[in-house]
């Protein structure tokens, strides 16, 4: 069965520093991976996805993610964090072969960016 | 273009009461989903629909029922609410379940069952 893991419950970063939010996946077949962000008291917003092609995927708000097949990882990155990036981040994988191809979400990582 | 909307935004129920959460989307999406979000557990799929008139069970369907009588609406019902159903409920929609299709989420409904 497909699954994703977000090993860190919380990531703390100083404003202006680079940030990384980690995600690892387990799939049978090709992985189709997504990142979503949830700001306080809001719904989830799509950030970026990896389907095929370049291992470095660029998304909204200056975020990018690096797909690494050998390490089965899809880490979210940003070169310079902003206080406004503070939010809850979810990694998700497409459940190919089961449940109509629905998304399976990780437990989420809370990102806190301090001034 | 409102996207995905949810009604109500907040609700407090007593154990045993019933209620219906309404989700509406104006993007002509075929697929719709209901999730619940609990601290430390991420999003878990309750029920979903692959088109008007269809519904299917997700990961945690017990205690919930759904209906999709119109393409743009997806209703989530709690027949007899329990404290374990205290959660934040999100509706989402997508055009299809093709590998690259992302889901669009509503703002959520915060439900408390006392």
Task: Determine, for residues B42 and A94 on separate chains, whether the beta-carbon distance falls below 8 Å.
Answer: no
Please indicate whether, in this complex, the C-beta atoms of B99 and A103 are within 8 angstroms of each other.
no
User: pLDDT (tens digit, 9 = 90+) per residue, B83-94?
Assistant: 999 999 999 999
* Average pLDDT of chain B, as a whole number: 95
The nearest alpha carbon in chain A to B5 belongs to A43
Residue linked to tokens 């090709």: A30
| pLDDT one-digit tens code per residue, B101-111 | 899 999 999 99
State residue B40's pLDDT score.
84
Taking CB atoms and an 8 Å limit, are A101 and B100 in contact across chains? no
Each residue's pLDDT tens digit, B70-81: 999 999 999 999
Tens digits of per-residue pLDDT, B35-56?
999 988 889 999 999 999 999 9
Over the Cα atoms of chain A, what is R_g?
14
Q: Please choose, from the candidates B105, B106, B87, B104, the residue with its C-alpha nearest in 3D space to the C-alpha of residue B41.
A: B87
| pLDDT string in tens for chain A (115-residue length) | 789 999 999 999 999 999 999 999 998 888 999 999 999 988 999 999 999 889 999 999 999 999 999 999 999 999 999 999 999 999 999 887 665 678 899 999 999 999 9
Quote the pLDDT of residue B35: 96
pLDDT of residue A99: 58
Shortest Cα distance, chain A CAs vs residue B101, angstroms: 9
Rounded-to-integer distance, Cα A93 and Cα A106, Å: 9
**Cα–Cα distance, A58 to A54 (Å, whole number):** 10
Sign of the dihedral defined by the CA atoms of residues A48, B44, B29, A38, in that order:
negative
The percent of residues in chain B predicted with pLDDT above 90, rounded, is: 89
pLDDT of residue B96: 86
Choose among A32, A34, A108: nearest Cβ to B42: A108
Please tell me the predicted confidence (pLDDT) of residue A98: 60
Q: Is the pLDDT of residue B25 over 90?
A: yes
Residues of chain B positioned with their CB less than 8 A from the CB of A99: 45, 48, 56, 58
Is A23 an interface residue toward B (CB < 8 Å)?
no
């Amino acid at each position: 069965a497909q699954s994703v893991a977000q090993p860190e419950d919380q990531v703390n970063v100083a404003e202006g520093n680079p940030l990384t939010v980690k995600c690892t996946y387990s799939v049978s077949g090709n992985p189709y991976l997504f990142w979503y962000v949830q700001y306080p008291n809001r719904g989830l917003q799509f950030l970026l996805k990896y389907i095929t092609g370049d291992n470095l995927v660029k998304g909204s708000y200056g975020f990018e993610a690096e797909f690494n097949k050998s390490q089965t990882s899809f880490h979210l990155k940003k070169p310079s964090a902003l206080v406004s990036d503070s939010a809850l981040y979810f990694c998700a994988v497409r459940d190919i072969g089961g449940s109509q191809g629905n998304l399976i979400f990780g437990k989420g990582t809370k990102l806190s960016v301090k001034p | 273009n409102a996207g995905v909307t949810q009604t109500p935004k907040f609700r407090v129920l007593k154990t045993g009461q019933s209620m219906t959460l309404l989700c509406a989307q104006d993007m002509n999406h075929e697929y719709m989903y209901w999730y619940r979000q609990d601290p430390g557990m991420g999003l878990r799929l309750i029920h979903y629909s692959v088109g008007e008139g269809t519904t299917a069970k997700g990961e945690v369907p017990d205690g919930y029922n759904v209906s999709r009588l119109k393409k743009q609406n997806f209703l989530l019902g709690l027949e007899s609410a329990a404290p374990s159903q205290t959660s934040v409920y999100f509706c989402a929609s997508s055009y299809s379940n093709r590998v690259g299709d992302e889901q669009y989420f509503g703002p959520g409904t915060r439900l408390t069952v006392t």
